[in-house]
Amino acid sequence: MLIRKRHRNDPKSSEITPESVYLKRRELMILGGLAGLFAATPAWARTVDPATEDGSRPAWLRQQVAGAKAGEPRTDEKLTPFDDVTHYNNFYEFGTGKDDPAAHAGGLKTHPWQVTVAGAAERTGTFDLEDLLKGLPVEERIYRLRCVEAWSMVIPWVGIPMASLLKKLQPTSKARYVAFTTLADPKQMPGVDSPFTGIDFPYREGLRLDEAMHPLTLMAIGLYGRTLPNQNGAPMRLVVPWKYGFKSIKSIVRIEFTEQRPETTWNLLAPREYGFYANVNPEVDHPRWSQSRERRLPNSLFNPNWQPTELFNGYDQVAGLYKGMDLRKNY
């Protein structure tokens, strides 16, 4: 992988103080959310998101995001600025370049959005997103995201603990895995028909049910206190912070509970390079590069900002899920 995108050596003032700018915006959003209880979100509340507009999102979704409680974990690490989080992306349905998703995902229609729930669960069928998410708790979690390509970010997500969503769907005793599928619409996603990715769309991912139920696993509906930008997987995407980023599948349209381990996109494409588990592990190198360190964004050619990579991306609390397993074999 090559570093092909320009990186800022002279940050704008908004990037020097991302936390304070962001916290101020959050206060406004919380006020906006309270106002929303009594009336449709007032116009002034919409002005709190100058960086990208999310005013076109449905009011219920903006209110659910604005109502997020501060959850654990938080972090002392510097947040990756909003501009990098939303302009350095992997979303091959919109092209393979890091700037392709921001350039081409603008037209993705994320409302109305339906999600099909299938397989070993009591509540299956096709649901409007609003009904699927209604009544579920929303939290802000600050997670490290470690891509298998050896770069990383720190992102303040807003999301629903996956366990609460899955419990609502009532998996049966047969359910051992949960599989997720991304929308694949060539009319809206220019990468889907492109011969360059080698990917057999739709993009698919999956977790063991106990991994999906772990308290760290999040169904994200926002970041930086606002609804998810399209390029980050609107309207709803998985976030599994202890696994390589490719597990965190975007723009989900299908959730299926299965008995057998589901097929997953990168594992199908290159099984020796990308495993089903894909736990971050500095001891198990990718066949073509080391996984012992990562470039923390934002960085530059002159300041690559290398950091050591930690087992489970530093989230030791998940170690019990893999007790007795050989992590070299189950990469």
Ligand X SMILES: Nc1nc2c(c(=O)[nH]1)N[C@H]1C(S)=C(S)[C@@H](COP(=O)(O)O)O[C@H]1N2
Annotated binding site for Mo-molybdopterin, which residues? 89, 92-93, 147, 182, 232, 237, 248-250
Q: Is the Cβ of residue 49 or residue 294 nearer to ligand X in the bound state?
A: 294
| 278 counts as binding ligand X under rule CB under 6 A | no
Judge contact between 248 and 278, C-beta under 8 A. no
Number of other CB atoms surrounding residue 38 within 10 Å: 7
| Six token digits for residue 183 | 């929308």
Query: Binding residue for ligand X (CB under 6 A) from 147, 166, 192, 280?
Result: 147
Distance CA 263, CA 95 (A): 22
State the helix-helix crossing angle for 18-38 and 59-66, rounded to 10 degrees.
Answer: 120
Query: Binding residue for ligand X (CB under 6 A) from 21, 33, 65, 91?
Result: 91
Question: Smallest Cα–Cα separation from 209: which of 172, 248, 264, 158?
Answer: 172
| 113 counts as binding ligand X under rule CB under 6 A | no
Q: Is the Cβ of residue 203 or residue 277 nearer to ligand X in the bound state?
A: 203
List phi, psi (to 5°) of 80. Answer: -70, 130
Query: Binding residue for ligand X (CB under 6 A) from 52, 80, 217, 232?
Result: 232
Distance CA 145, CA 79 (A): 11
Nearest residue to ligand X, scored by beta-carbon proximity: 245
| 157 counts as binding ligand X under rule CB under 6 A | no
Judge contact between 322 and 242, C-beta under 8 A. no
HEC assignment per residue over 131-190: HHHCCCCCEEEEEEEECCCCEEEEEEEEEEEHHHHHHHHCECCCCCEEEEEECCCCCCCC
Distance CA 121, CA 110 (A): 26
Choices 16-24, 105-113, 119-127, 241-249 (CB under 6 A): range interacting with ligand X: 241-249
| 93 counts as binding ligand X under rule CB under 6 A | yes
Query: Binding residue for ligand X (CB under 6 A) from 32, 45, 71, 92?
Result: 92
| 165 counts as binding ligand X under rule CB under 6 A | no
Instruction: Report, in Å, the least distance between residue 90 CB and ligand X.
Output: 4
Q: Is the Cβ of residue 45 or residue 239 nearer to ligand X in the bound state?
A: 239
Q: Is the Cβ of residue 91 or residue 224 nearer to Mo ion in the bound state?
A: 91
Pairing state between β 69-70 and 204-208: unpaired
Is residue 3 classed as helix, strand or coil in its secondary structure? coil
Instruction: Report, in Å, the least distance between residue 246 CB and ligand X.
Output: 4
Instruction: Report, in Å, the least distance between residue 122 CB and ligand X.
Output: 27
Query: Binding residue for ligand X (CB under 6 A) from 245, 262, 275, 298?
Result: 245
Q: Is the Cβ of residue 91 or residue 312 nearer to ligand X in the bound state?
A: 91
Residue 1 identity: M
Question: Smallest Cα–Cα separation from 122: which of 212, 236, 257?
Answer: 257
Choices 40-48, 83-91, 253-261, 311-319 (CB under 6 A): range interacting with ligand X: 83-91
| 90 counts as binding ligand X under rule CB under 6 A | yes
Q: Is the Cβ of residue 159 or residue 245 nearer to Mo ion in the bound state?
A: 245
Query: Which residues contribute to the site for Mo ion (CB under 5 A)?
Result: 90, 147, 245-246
| 216 counts as binding ligand X under rule CB under 6 A | no
Instruction: Report, in Å, the least distance between residue 38 CB and ligand X.
Output: 34
Burial of 250 (0-12, 13-18, 19+ CB in 10 A): buried
| Six token digits for residue 208 | 């063991």
Distance CA 224, CA 22 (A): 7
Residue with tokens 């993705």, as numbered in its chain: 108
Query: Binding residue for ligand X (CB under 6 A) from 113, 143, 180, 203?
Result: 203
Give the binding site for ligand X (CB under 6 A).
89-93, 145, 147, 182, 203, 232-233, 245-246, 248-251
